[in-house]
Amino acid sequence: MVYLKTDEEIELIRLSGLVLGKAHAEVAKLIGPGVKTAQLDRCAEEYIRDHGGVPSFKGFNAFPGSLCISVREQVVHGIPGDYELREGDIVSIDGGVLLNNFHSDSAYTYAVGKVSERVEELLKVTKASLYEGIAKATSGTRLGDVGFAIQQHVQRHGFSVVRELVGHGIGRSLHEEPEVPNFGKRGQGVKLEPGMVIAIEPMINLGTRNVLQEKDGWTIRTADRKPSAHFEHTVAIRTGGPQILTTFEFIEQALEARQESEEIYSR
């Protein structure tokens, strides 16, 4: 069953997404070579709890972390631990916040230092495909239109869409109906209507779309061990068009500040 949200409930999800976006930014400030993924996880959990929220992921189906932290060929559901980020890695940070009984969910993938041009393109195309999908998330269209827009943009650049993992509805529960694939056919799938809130999250691979699950029972990686990127927003379907309830604003402010600092230091 798809649960439609009231304007008041959508505002509560937006407030949850605001805390999440700021927690993401605190993590973004730390990302660099030599930083352990467990440190990033602690940073997010502390920020979320200090601001009245609860990490949505921690304990969800016994998941041990507050964030899913997935490095290089890991697509999603990577478990934070002692791994130290290295120059040339990419790392997907996926988090959720429960605040005022409503969840938000978003993800962002970072380059750690210098990466190859093709990997940099993977990040840009994956992020752009998210917004291509959001643009189609309007009242009266169907989820197939959203997935088709993502898939076409990604494949136009020679990348592949993971099929086994999809976005989802979100609200009082972290995962609600409907499923939100990142591929599809126009005019097919669940019809979108005002009050629906969905997490749109392209998971895009540099090589084959095929994936495997690691022995830890959580981590999903690419079958060919080539890199994968992941970006996600929580989005409300409104009469006037889609409303993005999570935010990358604070992440991008943190990244810009770091770049400016590095440029000053290098002079």
Q: What is the pLDDT of residues 205-258, one digit of tens each?
A: 999 999 999 999 999 999 999 999 999 999 999 999 999 999 999 999 999 998
Q: What is the mean pLDDT of residues 25-52?
A: 98
Q: Give the per-residue pLDDT at 266.
A: 63
Measured CA to CA, the distance from residue 222 to residue 206 in angstroms comes to 9
Q: What is the mean pLDDT of residues 133-138?
A: 98
Residue 190: pLDDT band (50, 70, 90) is very high
Residue 264: pLDDT band (50, 70, 90) is confident
Please say if the pLDDT value at position 262 is more than 80. Answer: no
The model's pTM is 0.96
Helix (H, G, I), strand (E, B) or coil at 86: coil
**Angle at which helices 249-266 and 7-30 cross, to 10°:** 20
Residue 148: pLDDT band (50, 70, 90) is very high
Residue 167: pLDDT band (50, 70, 90) is very high
Half-sphere exposure of 54 (CA within 13 A, CB side): 12
Q: Which residues pair with 167 in a beta bridge?
A: 180
Please say if the pLDDT value at position 186 is more than 90. Answer: yes
Q: For each of the domains in the chain, give its residue range(s) and CATH number, in order of start.
A: 7-266 (3.90.230.10)
Percentage of the residues of the chain whose pLDDT score is greater than 90 = 96
Would you report the helix, strand and coil content of the chain in percent, each value rounded to 5? Answer: 35, 25, 40
Please say if the pLDDT value at position 83 is more than 70. Answer: yes
Q: Looking at 210-249, which runs of residues are DSSP E strands?
A: 211-213, 220-222, 228-230, 233-238, 241-244
Q: Give the per-residue pLDDT at 265.
A: 65
